[in-house]
Every structure is written in C-alpha cells, then in structure tokens.
Structure 1
Amino acid sequence: MRPIAGGTCSICGERLLSPYAFLAEAEARCGLCRRLEPPFVKAVAYGSYEGGLRELIHILKYGQVRPAANVLGRMLSEVMAGLESAFGPGTVVVVPLQVRRLRQRGFNHSELIARAALKLGPTGDRLVLNAKILERHRDTQSQTDLTRHQRRENIRGAFVVANPEALSGREVLVVDDVFTTGTTVSSVPGYCFGPAHLKFG
C-alpha cells in the first residue's frame, strides 16, 4: 500500500483525467471542484480505496479487529505530517455512526483511527479530538449505491453540533474512513459549522 501521489485534484483528491493537468497547474482541480466550490478547504487521503487498504478498513469495520485502527492511524498520521505547517489550533471530529450500527459494532472505527493518528502524529497539542461534538440527528440509508445527488439528499440535515461554541476560532478536521464523492464531509461544514471553519476533510 502506497500513498496517493500526483495527478489528483488539490481539493477533493479525485484522480485527474489528464496526466498533464497536474504539471500545468500547481493547485490543479477536477471538473466538479471547478464548477462547485466545496465547503471545505482540502480533502486528503492516504490512498485509493482498493486492494490492501480496502481490506484493512473492512477488517476493522466488519471483522471488528481493533488493532487495524492503529495501522490505519499510522497511515493517516503520515498524511498529516505532510500538512503539519498548515494546522493552527484545531479540533478533530469524527463522522458519527448510526446508533444501531454503533451498538452492533461496539465502537466508531473513525474515532479509533483518529485517536491513533493523533497519538502517532506530529501535531502535538495543536489538534485535539472531540469525538462527541458531532452528533447524528437522524439515521440515513447506506450511501454505497447512491448517485451523487441521492447521496447529498440522503445525508442532508443528518448531523448536528452539540456545542458550537467549543469550535469558535478553531479549524476543524473531519475524519472519516472513506472519501468517495465528498458528500458526507461536505454536509458537515455545510449544515453544521459554516464553510469558514473546516480546514481539512
């Protein structure tokens, strides 16, 4: 498993269709991010959701092998190390699970990954985890087989912030296990914080 390198959108991480776009423009963007300004500053990922990385996420989520979170956390910490200078005082939040899924699984896998990343990463006390501040207001159906528009409607209004004042003046880093179209991460600042607060998704 290797990190994503080159040829990707500087905002959402989508692979660029033209191999020359990345060379022609330092902050190259995909067509969608050119047309629709995302409500977040940047999305980063360790790698593409395939092969060993996909299997590792599945082992954690569905096999409930908690030590896998430490491996994924180390991967995330490597990505965060490359962004170290970009972080000011910030709060790390995790995408909350549906209550039913949390009871079944016994843990929020994104929270375990975030905790491991902060423990292993270089950010010191500049980033603090607040795993309870973002709450799921209602259940949603699985996003897996939905179109981009359906995903947006499905997730709209699903999240609320328990204590918005705690985020005042702070950048917000949203941690989720998989970034597909950006709909979930976009719904967090779009409906909860306001665009100015989210630094990285």
Structure 2
Amino acid sequence: MASTDSLLVARIGRPHGLRGEVTVQTHTDDPERRYVPGTVFATEATVGTGVPRSLTLVTARKHRETWLLGFEEIPDRTGAESLRGTRLVLDVDEAAEAEDDDEGWYEHDLVGLAVVDPSGAALGEVTGLVVGAVQDLLEVRLADGREALVPFVEAIVTSVDVEGGHVVVDAPAGLFDLDEL
C-alpha cells in the first residue's frame, strides 16, 4: 500500500487488446502531464493478487475518450486482467514537482477546511472531494450534522484559502435545504 501522502491518479479497468494495455478511470485533471512514459506509479491492490508494488508506464493514448495505458511489467492481456481495480498513485511530493503552480487543489488540501458563507458565518467542514466528469463536488458536513454536496465551481465556491483554513461558499437559495422538501 502507498503512504497516506499519495495522490490517486487512476483506477485500472478492463484490459484492451492483447498487448497488456488497460483502460483507466482517470482521477487527475491533467492526464497528459501524469501519463508520461517512464513515470513509475505505486500501486494499491488487494493483498494476494500478485500486482507489482509499482508499474512503469511505457504507453499512454486515448481511444474514444478513454485513456489506455501500457506498463513495462505487464506484457500481455492475462497480466492486464490481473490489474483490474488497482489504483495508481504518486507520492504527493513527486506529483508536486511535476506540476506548475496552478489553481488546482487536491482532496488532502481541502479536507478539514472550515466552510463559511460570504459574511464569514460558519456553515460546516469539508469532508471530501468527489471528482466528476463534468464538475467536481465538495462533500461538506454541515453544522447540524447533515451531509451536503456543493458544486466546486467558482460561482459557488468563491474562495479557497488553504493557509487560512477555510473555503467561502456563496450557496444559492435551497442548496442546503434540498432534503427538507
């Protein structure tokens, strides 16, 4: 298992073809930068599956909007089948070295931040990040204990201050009251 200071990059799906390529569910907003041949990913897999502790990327390509990856250690379809469900992770420090300073945040940056409204009133706490195909969602535990999903878009999450320990959510009317109908 990878350390807790790891960044989930992808989850391996089914094999593709006969030469060991696999489909992946991407968990990064910049796959072109993460899927570079020569990158060594740590793996997280069920104990006893025989999955190597690390995989070295040799090929990465898109096929019908799905990423296909090939690894040095996996020469054929049989080997690729054994990878199904394996998580590919990078050490957070290595991942940070590979990227420029942009306005993205990782889940570990956000979890635990206080959620406040534009006036500074406490609304709750960030408990997770759901990465979606169209948009991401912040998982928030509200002050009354209910759970809520907040679209992680600039119009609603107007500010993220990791150093200050909070995010500002300008929630549209009803966002936190949907389950009270």
Q: Is TM-score (shorter-chain normalized) higher than 0.5?
A: no
Coarse TM-score class (shorter-chain normalised):
under 0.3
TM-score, length basis structure 1: 0.21
Higher Rg? 2
Structure with higher helix content: 1
Structure with higher strand content: 2
Higher relative contact order (CA 8 A, sep 6+): 1
